[in-house]
Chain A
Amino acid sequence: MAHTITLTVNGTGYTREVEPRLLLVHFLREVLELTGTHIGCDTSQCGACTVTMDGLAIKSCTAFAVQADGATIVTIEGMAKDGKLHPIQEAFHEEHGLQCGYCTPGMIMTLSQVLERNPDPTDEEIRHGIAGNICRCTGYENIVRSARDAARRLREEA
């Protein structure tokens, strides 16, 4: 039986009918066509599907769309404002924090949470903070540098 859900994604309101088993990540990618959120592992380890829901970073492959009824979601597509990259996105560009770019949206969404909770993290805290995100290209080195640089940008902006 289909359920009707109403939610806000990247500032836009949507009402849609969904099958209960529809995963949130498929809802975002296939119903709303927001394909920046990726799927990398199916078992909730890799974090490529990370979005924020009501301010909390979650793995959208491990949530049903029906659970997002009434929620406010931000995906990677909602991070840049007025054509300007978000400071975390800027930092990834500056510090070469991405290669193939597949894990990148999830990394950025997770870091938005990590840096919100800890605006001046050590490298160890950054590495621990992205424990739920796997990257196969960068060896994480430049992701850590990007996160450090992003933290600085966000602090300066605040």
Chain B
Amino acid sequence: MIPAAFEYHAPATLKEATALMRRFGDDAKVLAGGQSLIPMMKLRLADVPHLIDLRRVSGLAYIKEQDGGLAIGAMTTYHELEASSLVRRYAPFIVEAIDLIADVQVRNKGTIGGSAAHADPAADLPALLVALEARINTTGGARARHIAADRFFVDAYTTAMGPSEVISEITLPALPLRTGTSYRKFANKASHFAVVGAAAVVTLGADGLCERVRLGITGAGPKAARSKRAERYLEGKAPTQENFQTAARKAGHGIEFLEDIHGSAEYRRHLTSVFAARALAEAVQRVAD
């Protein structure tokens, strides 16, 4: 397994990087942590005549508080996220979800920006990004853009970014008080990617009802997406097992379920409901905690 030959570019600034992307167009790919792209190049599934490595671009790896939420540089690694007290305080399910991604070595190299840009339908992080209503900030296009996560993931391995756009930062908005989070995943026994993953962000109102519900599903279909029917159903209702179950049954609405040796479409539909219910219940449980 050996990649095809390519030209290697290691620009020092994002501006230079995007200039290279404009110059080489479809012939260029951006290298962040490389944990998805390099295996695809080795398998010769990705044809990359020009590889633009962001490793020399400084100032792209950071985690800082911003407007009560977080701003995370695109080249921040999974390990930096899981080790961050800011992240843990903001939403512990990020740390828990990252702990389920691949392994120590991959988390040392893989980045949040790389994961988002790769848009693997079975990746864990996109479920969290959509549930948190993250914004993906890009540069290199006609203008800087702040793309809502729910619109960012367009299809399998396809994002809303244009050919010369690159992710610079991902922002996570402030979470209301009395918010609990949970990520529950059914892992593929071979790759350990998600067959189905459900990320729940639930805010309870002063009346104890579910005031605001965000549910992100990954793995089930070609892209990570919010389950708005399930969210709407549960909002304003009591946080009971029965309501979670009913909401979870709606979680698969609109998903074109994938089918492979790790799960039929029917099984994925079922798992979506099971894991949505588990994530919702755990998120609510954590409000109390």
Contact = CB atoms under 8 A, between A and B. Distances in A.
Contacts of A61: 42
24 contacts: A1-B8, A20-B7, A21-B3, A21-B5, A23-B2, A43-B42, A43-B43, A44-B38, A44-B39, A47-B105, A56-B109, A57-B105, A57-B108, A63-B38, A63-B109, A64-B8, A64-B34, A66-B8, A67-B31, A67-B53, A110-B104, A131-B103, A131-B104, A131-B192
A15 interface: no
Given A42-B1, A63-B38, A66-B53, A50 B105 contact: yes
A20 B38 contact: no
B104 A57 contact: yes
Interface residues of A, number: 31
Nearest to B191: A45
B5 A67 contact: no
Contacts of B192: 131
Nearest to A19: B5
Classify the interface of chain A: helix, strand, loop or mixed.
mixed
A155 interface: no
B6 A21 contact: yes
A8 interface: no
Contacts of B79: 56
A9 interface: no
Contact of B4 (A3, A21, A42): A21
Interface in A34-85: 42-45, 47, 50, 56-59, 61-64, 66-67
A108 interface: no
A131 B191 CA distance: 11
B102 A132 contact: yes
Contacts of A110: 104-105
Nearest to B51: A20
B109 A58 contact: yes
Nearest to B103: A132
A43 B39 contact: yes
A47 to B, nearest CB: 6
A1 B9 CA distance: 11
B35 interface: yes
A66 B55 CA distance: 11
A21 B39 CA distance: 12
A62 B34 contact: yes
Interface in B1-58: 1-8, 10, 31, 34-35, 38-39, 41-43, 51, 53, 55
A11 B145 CA distance: 45
Nearest to B108: A56
A127 B92 CA distance: 22
A113 interface: yes
Interface in B186-213: 191-192
B108 A58 contact: yes
Interface string B205-228: 000000000000000000000000
Contacts of A64: 8, 34, 38
B39 A20 contact: no
A1 B103 contact: no
Interface in B57-114: 79, 99, 102-106, 108-109
Contacts of A59: 105-106, 109
Interface in A10-24: 19-21, 23
A12 B55 CA distance: 23
A67 B6 contact: no
User: Which 6 pairs from chain A and chain B are nearest by CB?
Assistant: A132-B103, A20-B8, A42-B1, A56-B108, A131-B103, A21-B3
A62 B35 contact: yes
Interface in A83-139: 110, 113-114, 128-133
B42 A132 contact: no
A110 B55 CA distance: 23
Contacts of B1: 42-43
A85 to B, nearest CB: 23
The listed residue with most B CB atoms (<10 A of its CB), out of A45, A67, A130, is A67
